[in-house]
Structure 1
Amino acid sequence: MISRPDRQADSRRPRPEARTAPPRPLDITALVARLTERDRWILRMLHEHRVLTTKQLGPLAFPTPAIALRRLRLLHSYGVLERFRPLRARGSAPVHWVLAPAGAAVLAAEAGISVRELGYNHQRALAVAHSLHLAHTVGVAEWFTALIAHAPRDQQGNQAQVQAWWSQTRCQRLWGDLARPDAFGRYAHPETTLDFFLEYDLASTTLTRVAAKLHGYGELARTTGVITPVLLWVPTAQREANARAALRRTWERLPDPEAVPVATAAAELLPENPEASPAEQVWLPLDTDSDADRRCLHELSARWPRRTSPTSIDSEQPVPSLNGIVVLAPPPPQPPASEFW
């Protein structure tokens, strides 16, 4: 649940799977015949975001949890997905899914490139199970899943949409010499559209280091001429108060503070229910200290008149990289709208 994010300290070594026969590999031709458009979207999402859980892929791509589990198990039997389940100090973790070699081969074939050019490495894909950043990676995905699955509607019934969700890796390729956000997103509400950088905090980093990242965002705005708001999401209200003090000291010393719009929110401000969303009225701009000024996500647009208006995003063509790795276009945050299961 997004209001109670998991911490890395709560995780243990992945749970070993029961001994079963390994998935029987299929050739690419057979796989292509069996995979649906939604299946291919899942493969692209796992390539983009490294790991997603059943509880995330379910709301994003399937009408019911039972259908989600059945289809994901089938994809595992095809050999296009790998899975693991971390142990927890308390309770149980959902199954975590990563891209398997056969899935990478499908993506490479569709793009007309080799698996090597795709940049896929099987051992590196599985290594996320032991990563010290697993809780953070999954937490970012949980944040976007909640924003997508529980998007609000206006009075006319029009629903907001997440039009872009770029991974930390993609952001690093684009802006890593200046700024390294945890994700880039585009949130389209019937009233406005907001581009943003997400900084997802689990209280595992010093606030001095968190605040220092504003210098990079300031330099990015200066060199590109593009002003994109920065959203900091923290677990508790106390962490938010402390973070705001540190951010404010750094922000006020920037050459052009208004070129780095910042807002903060705490997960515990959300109600403890499965449909809680980051779109709710929990965001507090950095240039105010009154809780009465907390806004819904889409309402932040009006607070920052200097922000750059969103431009078109090319979501079709892969982009060749200088190191020989072909960077696929980012997948849309949601799968094809209708498909028979």
Structure 2
Amino acid sequence: MLSRPDRQADHRKPRPEPRTARARPVDTTALVARLTERDRWILRMLHEHRVLTTNQLATLAFPSPALALRRMTRLHRYGVLERFRPLRTRGSAPVHWVLAPAGAAVLAAEAGISLRELGYSHQRTLAIAHSLQLTHTLGVSDWFAALTAHAPRDERGQQAQVQAWWSQTRCQRLWGDLARPDAFGRYTHPEATLDFFLEYDLASTTLTRVAAKLHGYSELARTTGVITPVLLWVPTALREANAREALHRTWERLPDPEAVPVATAAAELLSPRPETSPADQVWLPLDHDTDRLRLHELTTAWPARTPPAVVDAHGGQTWAPVGGLVVLAPPPPTPPLEFW
């Protein structure tokens, strides 16, 4: 799906939930003995990213989609998750999962705060089912899920990792007065670590508008003194070629173009194999005439970028991403079989 992203037009209003028996809601104290560490990780991910599908959660945290669906269905019976399935004009959609009030109460209790302080709204959570941005939101999640699941290994067997994946909501809360990326990520490869802003494009907006966002990134870099690359992901090679022209016209007029490193890639450049990943050799820096690079190789193209955080001898960080520390580590180990 990463190489052939959905279009919003492929989705219609959510399919009504079938009438099935469901257990009565339980209080949060009863959930203490039922929720595993992975379950709580899922709750945190859904709070961060609003909605994830069974397939995405299976990619991120389960051995198979069948086991993911089984566990998610049980969490639905516990009352911590809610679900819906968009009606498609062709084929069928996977189950989409969102955080229920009981799940939000668990997260609030963990943090020792109220639901208001957690920032949870049941009405806003359910609104994603009808949002015109649903396909875009799921596309970003597909992108990070593929990057997480199919991270390459080097010749010594060391594997790359996604150490951070911040949602559009978190990014807007931190930098929305200047820049509004679709996500922030940190990708650690045995050879290099790359912090980046992701712009995920479905060809649903004009390229002039896409290019204009560089002004916000330029102002963010000037204000913070932190140079973070911007990665533009588009569906087709033709869209990429046109986008690069529009981007370059805007980029070269910035007060300090070197403070806004940009690279582009097209989804159709990926091979049709299921294990393809945004880490593959599909990236082309905007200011370099080079061959396509792998994701971690982009670090060599931008010597002016701010390096990732370095841990000192006392365990402290000498630098962290603008807005705070990296959050949302990978899921904990798979629990025993009785928890499936």
Scaled by the length of structure 2, the TM-score of the pair is: 0.93
Say if 2:24 is the partner of 1:28. no
Q: Percent identity?
A: 79
- Which amino acid in the other structure matches residue 61 of structure 1? A
Aligned residue in 1 for 2:125: 125
Over 3 Å counting, the alpha-carbon distance change for 1:328 and 1:264 in structure 2 is: closer
- 1:37-74 residue CA offsets vs partner (Å, 9 max, x unmatched): 00000000000000000000001111222211110000
Aligned residue in 1 for 2:331: 335
Aligned residue in 1 for 2:185: 185
Cα distance, 1:131 vs. partner?
0.1
Q: Is the 8 A contact 1:195 1:229 kept in 2?
A: yes
Q: Is the 8 A contact 2:284 2:293 kept in 1?
A: yes
Map residues 239-254 of structure 1 onto 2, 5 A cutoff: 239-254=239-254
Aligned residue in 2 for 1:309: 307
- 1:214-259 residue CA offsets vs partner (Å, 9 max, x unmatched): 0010111111110000000000001101100000000000011011
CA distance in 1, matches of 2:330, 2:273: 22
Q: Is the 8 A contact 1:12 1:87 kept in 2?
A: yes
Q: Is the 8 A contact 1:41 1:331 kept in 2?
A: no
Aligned residue in 2 for 1:74: 74
Q: Is the 8 A contact 1:48 1:330 kept in 2?
A: no
Scaled by the length of structure 1, the TM-score of the pair is: 0.93
Over 3 Å counting, the alpha-carbon distance change for 1:78 and 1:172 in structure 2 is: same
User: What is the DSSP-based 3-state SS (H/G/I as helix, E as strand, rest coil) of the residue aligned with 2:220?
Assistant: helix
Q: Is the 8 A contact 2:201 2:233 kept in 1?
A: yes
- Which amino acid in the other structure matches residue 189 of structure 1? H
Say if 2:18 is the partner of 1:18. yes
User: What is the DSSP-based 3-state SS (H/G/I as helix, E as strand, rest coil) of the residue aligned with 2:86?
Assistant: strand
Cα distance, 1:340 vs. partner?
2.1
CA distance in 2, matches of 1:111, 1:155: 41
Aligned residue in 2 for 1:317: none
CA distance in 2, matches of 1:95, 1:112: 31
CA distance in 1, matches of 2:46, 2:327: 10
| Structure 2: gaps of 5 or more residues | 312-322
**Over the residues paired in the alignment, what is the CA RMSD in angstroms?**
1.6
Aligned residue in 2 for 1:175: 175
Cα distance, 1:75 vs. partner?
0.2
Cα distance, 1:331 vs. partner?
4.7
Cα distance, 1:123 vs. partner?
1.4
Q: Is the 8 A contact 2:62 2:334 kept in 1?
A: no
- Which amino acid in the other structure matches residue 174 of structure 2? L
CA distance in 2, matches of 1:286, 1:250: 11
Q: Is the 8 A contact 1:23 1:76 kept in 2?
A: no
CA distance in 2, matches of 1:3, 1:134: 18
Aligned residue in 2 for 1:298: 296
Map residues 261-272 of structure 1 onto 2, 5 A cutoff: 261-272=261-272
Cα distance, 1:330 vs. partner?
6.8
Over 3 Å counting, the alpha-carbon distance change for 1:161 and 1:92 in structure 2 is: same
- 1:180-239 residue CA offsets vs partner (Å, 9 max, x unmatched): 100000000000000000000000111011000000101111111100000000000011
User: What is the DSSP-based 3-state SS (H/G/I as helix, E as strand, rest coil) of the residue aligned with 1:40?
Assistant: helix
CA distance in 2, matches of 1:329, 1:57: 24
Cα distance, 1:277 vs. partner?
0.2
Map residues 277-296 of structure 1 onto 2, 5 A cutoff: 277-289=277-289, 293-296=291-294
- Which amino acid in the other structure matches residue 274 of structure 2? P
Over 3 Å counting, the alpha-carbon distance change for 1:108 and 1:27 in structure 2 is: same
Map residues 29-44 of structure 1 onto 2, 5 A cutoff: 29-44=29-44
CA distance in 1, matches of 2:50, 2:326: 13
- 1:298-324 residue CA offsets vs partner (Å, 9 max, x unmatched): 0000000000011269xxxxxxxxxxx
| Structure 1: gaps of 5 or more residues | 314-326
Q: Is the 8 A contact 1:45 1:331 kept in 2?
A: no
Q: Is the 8 A contact 2:38 2:334 kept in 1?
A: no
Q: Is the 8 A contact 1:147 1:162 kept in 2?
A: yes
